[in-house]
Amino acid sequence: MKNNEIEIVLYGAETLCPSCVSSPSSKETFEWLEAAIERKFPNQPFKMTYVDIYQPHEEPDKQTFAKRVIEEDMFYPVVVIEEKVVGEGNPRLKLIFAELEKYGYKAEE
């Protein structure tokens, strides 16, 4: 059983990335992902953090990664769990859920 809260960080921006024009916005993806994780892993704590890649962030590691998203032309939103990139552009729930299960999250059917 997991005993600590995992942080899921979504890096995105107000504007859509050039190749993601038909996709939902980063904020919409953040809300959708948060709701999907709450449904899949009810009563299991996690922390969702949204980082706008064009706004300075108070945590240096998040600021550094936000710059990397821009410099490496990553498809955003970018989903990071415990410093591992698990989704880029249009994140796949299956991959995100599988990563959370590695930390002891148990799906409730």
pLDDT tens sequence across 30-84 = 999 999 999 999 999 999 999 999 998 899 999 999 999 999 999 899 999 999 9
For residue 50, list its beta bridge partners: 10
How far, in Å, CA of 40 to CA of 84, rounded?
20
pTM as predicted: 0.90
Per-residue tokens: 48: 């969702």
Tell which CATH classification among 3.40.30.30, 1.10.630.10, 1.10.3720.10, 3.40.50.1400 matches the domain 6-102. Answer: 3.40.30.30
How far, in Å, CA of 99 to CA of 95, rounded?
6
